[in-house]
């Protein structure tokens, strides 16, 4: 932030201070003395400080220096102090931790009272208090008459909503909400609220409300604050509950790290945080507020840098949060060229998080009898003999148990086969992807049939970069695979409000094992058609990938923090994905969590025994041994 002829300057190591300053300036009258801000991280030499004092700060009569660390961390501080004393400038040097520091007080050129007042305003924090500090300094040191208020203590936790009063409580929100609608909670850092850096929160609120949800946003300094084994919930999460129960159906968290304790180098035992999450009993989505710029993220194949990935993905996974996408990036606010100090929302990513939250909220409120769930079997090599060949899981038998449990819980599930084997035979008889046995009649009788005209419309909805890659690899839409009578045939059977599908082949004319994890091979038209048909034609409320592992999470795109140009994001969109996954391959399970917002439900490895002969073979072996003896 640079203002020509500025009379007051704030020099700081903390970019967020400049965000707060930017907001504070909007609270001052137009005739207030010009104010500027400088990010000390942009200074690398004494020469740069000298140039700054000679040009941008030439007219500055008041300089507030907020230091992280010692004075030696400020390039050119000696020159700054020399000029302040020589030219009679008012220099206020305080610690970035807002604690009194005798060394810093000794080099300040203002009275101890003025210095202490500056520290008090910074300790209170927020743009409101910084605006009052600027008024105080102007009146006391520049002899203006704007007036000022004493430092105002700001809450550690609270409710923020653009349509509610500044100090709104839960009763205000309850009066504001529409009880018949589902509700979403948002958790974000207090520092964003204090600095007025809430554009990403406002955008998320707006996107959720447009989807028919009530929104309860809560700011906090930490999810651990006020929480330990003696209390049921930490302070911030108490806003979402009352004697009447939990107020929200889904929770979107934008804070970093994990709520629970993590044990390095060993197993992490269940702590108080597990009880907290069980008490809330709502899905918790992790939305990423990235410290990267949008351009850095767009150009990155990895997606998130190591710091973002650790703070906003890896550690939150220890709380079992559902990993979504980055919804904001650091950017330079208007008129502030020296620091990335504002979190700018990215509309399509905000919409993705809001859409996913809305679907989870719908799942919580929708009666079981009305929920429509699609189950997708892996189908390696597209062979009928390998349908449901999950690692360490009898997928057909497991699915039969799941469907039976759903029926007992009130889901509309009917026409169940006798067992898992019968289920597989029914799938093969209706329509499969094994060209050895596939007939034209089966293509015609497939439950899922997508008219070519409809698919072309869906294809046109994809970003142009995706369309180009698919056309280059597989030809114009709709391709030629499993196409019959101007329809794409999708293998599967319908069992009431349950649909059991086969995951389409990853590609054609290639070694199927080699392309299973190929990171640059776009999906086929037929592959895309299945997921789009499930979402928009069959109207699935959720998808379940039955066992390790399918290929959706291995499609081209960023490693984590996906964009609209990443294939897993485009195909799955905002459909909730549940994923039974073997517990001993956490790396590939994490792939599904981070690239397909999967809710991973781990299952144990199967019991093992010695691979030996049995039955008639055992008898034959014994007879052969006896013969040779």
pLDDT at 337: 46
Q: Which CATH class is domain 8-141?
A: alpha beta
- The answer to whether residues 394 and 547 touch, using CB atoms and an 8 Å cutoff, is no
Per-residue three-class SS string for 446-491: CCEEEEHHHHHHHHHCCCHHHHHHHHHHHCCCCCCCCEECCEEEEC
- 86-100, 215-229, 574-588: lowest mean pLDDT where? 215-229
Question: Would you say 477 and 547 are in contact if contact means Cβ atoms under 8 Å apart?
Answer: no
Listed in sequence order, the residues at least 6 apart from 592 whose beta carbon sits closer than 8 Å to its beta carbon are 545, 549, 553, 577, 579, 581, 598, 600
Question: Residue 529: is the preceding peptide bond cis (ω within 30°)?
Answer: no
Q: What is the structure's pLDDT at 503?
A: 97
Task: Please determine, for residue 454, whether its predicted confidence score (pLDDT) is greater than 60.
Answer: yes
CA-closest candidate to residue 554, choices 542, 544, 562: 562
Question: Helix, strand, or coil here: 327?
Answer: strand
Reading the block at residue 153, the tokens are 């203590």
Higher pLDDT, 607 or 527: 527
**Per-residue pLDDT reduced to its tens digit, 242-281:** 877 889 999 999 999 998 877 777 766 667 888 889 989 9
pLDDT at 96: 87
Phi, psi for 52 (deg, rounded to 5): -65, -45
* φ, ψ (nearest 5 deg) of residue 131: -60, -40
Distance in angstroms between the alpha carbons of the first and the last residue of the chain: 94
What's the token pair of residue 251?
A: 């929770």
Q: Out of 57-66, 84-93, 155-164, 268-277, which region has the weakest mean confidence (pLDDT)?
A: 268-277
User: Right CATH number for 158-263+270-364 from 3.40.50.2300, 1.10.10.10, 3.40.50.2000, 3.40.50.300?
Assistant: 3.40.50.2300
Task: Write down the mean pLDDT value for the chain.
Answer: 93
Q: What percent of the chain has pLDDT over 90?
A: 78
SS3 548: coil
Assessment of whether the complete model's pTM goes beyond 0.85: yes
The phi, psi pair for 448, rounded to 5°, reads: -95, 110
Kindly list the domain boundaries of the chain, sorted by start residue.
8-141, 158-263+270-364, 367-603
pLDDT at 1: 47
Q: How far, in Å, CA of 389 to CA of 370, rounded?
A: 30
């Amino acid at each position: 932030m640079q203002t020509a002829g500025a009379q007051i300057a704030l020099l700081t190591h903390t970019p967020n201070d400049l965000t707060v300053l930017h907001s504070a300036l909007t609270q001052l009258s137009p005739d207030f003395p010009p104010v500027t801000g400088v990010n000390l991280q942009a200074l690398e030499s004494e020469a740069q400080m000298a140039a700054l004092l000679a040009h941008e700060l030439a007219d500055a009569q008041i300089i507030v220096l907020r230091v992280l660390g010692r004075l030696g961390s400020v390039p050119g501080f000696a020159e700054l102090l020399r000029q302040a004393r020589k030219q009679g400038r008012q220099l206020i040097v305080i610690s970035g931790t807002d604690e009194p520091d005798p060394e810093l007080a000794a080099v300040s050129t203002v009275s101890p009272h003025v210095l202490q007042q500056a520290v008090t305003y910074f300790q209170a924090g927020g743009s409101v208090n910084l605006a009052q500090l600027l008024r105080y300094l102007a009146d006391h040191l520049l002899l203006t008459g704007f007036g000022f208020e004493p430092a105002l203590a700001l809450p550690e936790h609270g409710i923020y909503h653009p349509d509610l009063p500044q100090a709104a409580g839960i009763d205000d929100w309850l009066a504001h909400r529409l009880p018949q609608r589902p509700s979403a909670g948002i958790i974000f850092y207090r520092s964003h609220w204090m600095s007025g850096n809430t554009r990403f929160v406002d955008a998320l609120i707006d996107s959720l409300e447009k989807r028919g949800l009530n929104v309860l946003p809560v700011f906090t300094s930490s999810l651990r604050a006020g929480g330990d084994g003696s209390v049921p919930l930490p302070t911030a999460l108490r806003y979402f509950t009352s004697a009447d129960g939990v107020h929200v159906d889904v929770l979107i968290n934008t804070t970093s790290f994990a709520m629970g304790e993590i044990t390095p180098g060993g197993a992490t035992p269940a702590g108080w945080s597990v009880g907290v999450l069980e008490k809330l009993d709502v899905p918790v989505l992790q939305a990423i507020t990235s410290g990267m710029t949008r351009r850095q993220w767009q150009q990155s194949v990895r997606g998130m840098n190591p710091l973002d990935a650790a703070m906003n993905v890896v550690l939150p996974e220890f709380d079992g949060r559902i990993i979504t996408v980055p919804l904001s990036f650091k950017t330079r606010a208007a008129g502030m060229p020296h620091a990335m100090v504002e979190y700018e929302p990215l509309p399509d990513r905000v919409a993705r998080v809001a859409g996913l939250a809305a679907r989870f909220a719908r799942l919580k409120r929708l009666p079981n009898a009305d929920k429509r769930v699609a189950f997708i079997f892996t189908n390696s090599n597209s062979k009928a003999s390998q349908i449901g060949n999950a690692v360490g899981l009898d997928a057909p038998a497991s699915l039969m148990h799941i469907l039976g449990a759903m029926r007992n819980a009130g889901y509309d599930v009917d026409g169940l086969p006798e067992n898992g084997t019968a289920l597989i035979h029914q799938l093969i008889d209706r329509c499969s992807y094994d060209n050895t046995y596939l007939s034209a009649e089966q293509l015609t009788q497939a439950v899922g049939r997508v008219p070519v005209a409809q698919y072309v419309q869906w294809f046109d909805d994809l970003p142009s970069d995706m369309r180009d890659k698919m056309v280059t690899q597989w030809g114009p839409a709709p391709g030629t695979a499993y196409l019959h009578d101007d329809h794409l045939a999708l293998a599967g059977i319908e069992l009431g409000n349950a649909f059991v599908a086969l995951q389409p082949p990853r590609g054609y004319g290639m070694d199927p094992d080699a392309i299973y994890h190929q990171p640059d091979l776009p999906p086929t038209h037929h592959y895309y058609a299945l997921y789009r048909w499930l979402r928009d034609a069959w109207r699935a409320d959720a998808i379940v990938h039955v066992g390790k592992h399918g290929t959706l999470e291995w499609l081209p795109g960023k490693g984590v923090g996906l964009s609209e140009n990443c294939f897993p994001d485009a195909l799955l969109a905002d459909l909730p994905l549940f994923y039974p996954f073997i517990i001993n391959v956490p790396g590939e399970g994490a792939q599904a969590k981070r690239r397909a917002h999967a809710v991973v439900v781990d299952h144990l490895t199967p019991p093992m025994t010695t691979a030996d002969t049995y039955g008639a073979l055992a008898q034959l072996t014994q007879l052969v041994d006896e013969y040779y003896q």
